[in-house]
Amino acid sequence: MFRVRRGRVVALTAAVALIGMTAACGSGDSGDSGSGAGGTSNEKPSGDILVLTNRTDIVNTTFKDYAAKFHAKYPDVNVKFQALTDYEGEVKTRMSTKQYGDVLLIPAGVAKADYADFFEPLGKPADLSKKYRFVDSSTVDGTTYGLATFGNASGIVYNKKVFKEAGITGLPKTPDELITDLQAIKAKTQATPYYTNYKDGWPLSWPYGDMGAVSGDKDALVKMSTNKAPWAAGQELNALNSLLFDMVQKGLSEKDPTTTNWENSKNLIATGKIGIMPLGSWAIPQMKDAATKAGTNPDDIGYMPMPFQADGSYQSPVGPDFNQAININSDHKAAARAWIDWMVNDSGYSDVVGGVPTLKDAKLPAQLKDFEASGVKFVEMTPSAKLDAVDKQSEIGLNQPDYYRDLVDAARGASGQTKQQIFDALNKKWSDAIASVG
């Protein structure tokens, strides 16, 4: 559920012509051919390596600085970057050839069963998990093929100034308390309490991304894969989806959700025109940056846990953003492995993006200090391949905006449906899919 920020899942095509892609992996001339598997290669890292990234915004700034620092440590390695706007689509195309960089972010559309065909083994999960988080997310049949760039916590971005103006002094511990807070924002400020981002759609899938926030159960996704009625009363998914529905039904969202705009929403929350937006922790730096650009105080941007507690504590599901992997066809695998290790261990990248460090011993970034002070417990969710299979068979799209838009439309009286009718239909599709998948 954390694999791709916008929840896009694309199928890997078997053979697509490479068009306009000229940068080949293994472009150096050192002849490095170490496997780097499990970090056991004794070969000295050397050669030119190409690193593919989705970060078009910082490839010429932050990453350029990283390359210089890495080169100082490994003078025989030169790192080149290629930032791709449509990362998933372009890398999918490249992977029909052997030329998809030396280091890449594993696309969501690559089936785990195919990892061994495309990526170099990095080691055994029992060894890697002693030092790193999120190892299971890229492990197949006892072998790990990727290390996370960083992890995303789940919660709510909010404007502290708006909350203060509304007279709110503490974080909500229950959905009812959050509703009460949003009603205070509506009554006492000019801000829209909750902004859905309905038009862009992908931010609406937060109820699925927050699975584990209600129960604190790391196996919530695994259990959902065999639960024939996960939208039934008393179930975690019901509670999360009901919160979405209730916020809209009580008039606490924008008047016309069809006119929302994701890019503009950053400026709106930064300038105090929005109270809250449920998003992953990756969004915090973007909202603070928007505040800086707008001339408002970036410290007004806060991050709170979802309004549920288990065993007296807030719970925040955490999982990897992208996983970094080595192209199995790379001519410079030792250099590629050195880059991955340096990024995870030494770069401080999680501080830049406001994420949970992959390295277990690393401190949380400053953006998450208030979040940490709430006493929230991080829940590293157990991935479930069966859940993905059931979701695909059901054609519901847990990571897609469709049924969440249906909930919003029902809540605002635009569709004639009730929440229960939507939940009943979802349970029927899910139950049928479980029976079909087996």
CATH value at residue 278 = 3.40.190.10
The verdict on 115 and 185 lying in the same domain is no
* Token pair of 265 as six digits: 């929403």
Percent of the chain with pLDDT over 70: 90
pLDDT higher than threshold 60 for residue 232: yes
The verdict on 80 and 204 lying in the same domain is no
Q: Taking the model in full, what pTM does it have? A: 0.81
pLDDT higher than threshold 50 for residue 31: no
Separation of alpha carbons 27 and 49, rounded Å: 7
Separation of alpha carbons 139 and 142, rounded Å: 6
The verdict on 138 and 163 lying in the same domain is no
The verdict on 171 and 277 lying in the same domain is yes
The full DSSP string for 247-285 is HHHTT-B-S-GGG--HHHHHHHHHTTSEEEEEEETTHHH
Q: Domain range holding 274?
A: 153-318+382-437
The verdict on 299 and 429 lying in the same domain is yes
The continuous run of DSSP H or E covering 393 comes out as helix 385-394
Strand partners, 310: 313
Percent of the chain with pLDDT over 90: 83
The verdict on 328 and 397 lying in the same domain is no
Average pLDDT over the chain reads: 90
Do the domain assignments include residue 422? yes
Cα angle for residues 62, 319, 67 (degrees, 5° grid) = 20
User: What are the tens digits of pLDDT across the range 150-168?
Assistant: 999 999 999 999 999 999 9
Separation of alpha carbons 252 and 189, rounded Å: 12
pLDDT higher than threshold 90 for residue 111: no
The verdict on 126 and 159 lying in the same domain is no
The verdict on 236 and 329 lying in the same domain is no
Strand partners, 155: 279
Average pLDDT on 107-113 reads 86
The continuous run of DSSP H or E covering 380 comes out as strand 377-380
In terms of Cα–Cα distance, which of 182, 179, 236 is closest to 212? 236
Do the domain assignments include residue 14? no
pLDDT higher than threshold 90 for residue 35: no
In terms of Cα–Cα distance, which of 331, 179, 188, 325 is closest to 252? 179
Q: Round the CA-based radius of gyration of the chain to a whole number and report it.
A: 22
pLDDT higher than threshold 80 for residue 18: no
User: What are the tens digits of pLDDT across the range 175-211?
Assistant: 999 999 999 999 999 999 999 999 999 999 999 999 9
Helices 333-345 & 62-73 angle (0-180, nearest 10): 120
* pLDDT for res 354: 85
Contact 244/281 with Cβ under 8 angstroms?
no
Do the domain assignments include residue 18? no
Backbone dihedral region for residue 74 (phi beyond 0: left; psi -120 to 50: alpha; all else: beta): beta
Identify residue 86 by its one-letter amino acid code.
Answer: D
* pLDDT for res 28: 35
* pLDDT for res 438: 81
Cα angle for residues 152, 357, 311 (degrees, 5° grid) = 65
Separation of alpha carbons 68 and 88, rounded Å: 27
Separation of alpha carbons 279 and 138, rounded Å: 23
Do the domain assignments include residue 57? yes
Which band of pLDDT confidence, cut at 50, 70 and 90, is reported for residue 16?
very low
The verdict on 326 and 308 lying in the same domain is no
The number of folded domains in the chain is: 2
The verdict on 336 and 308 lying in the same domain is no
pLDDT higher than threshold 60 for residue 29: no
Contact 108/128 with Cβ under 8 angstroms?
no
* pLDDT for res 41: 58
Average pLDDT on 226-244 reads 98
Do the domain assignments include residue 355? no
* pLDDT for res 338: 98
Which band of pLDDT confidence, cut at 50, 70 and 90, is reported for residue 17?
very low
Do the domain assignments include residue 370? no
Separation of alpha carbons 45 and 40, rounded Å: 12
In terms of Cα–Cα distance, which of 261, 307, 328 is closest to 35? 328
Average pLDDT on 315-337 reads 96
Which letter does DSSP use for residue 98 in this model? S
The verdict on 342 and 428 lying in the same domain is no
**Backbone dihedral angles phi then psi of residue 132, each to the nearest 5 degrees:** -120, 150
In terms of Cα–Cα distance, which of 258, 280, 277 is closest to 201? 258
Do the domain assignments include residue 4? no
Which band of pLDDT confidence, cut at 50, 70 and 90, is reported for residue 43?
confident
Least confident of 213-227, 328-342, 381-395: 381-395
pLDDT higher than threshold 50 for residue 68: yes
In terms of Cα–Cα distance, which of 178, 182, 165, 186 is closest to 210? 178
Do the domain assignments include residue 29? no
The verdict on 286 and 342 lying in the same domain is no
Average pLDDT on 233-243 reads 98
User: What are the tens digits of pLDDT across the range 262-312?
Assistant: 999 999 999 999 999 999 999 999 999 999 999 999 999 999 999 999 999
Contact 422/410 with Cβ under 8 angstroms?
yes
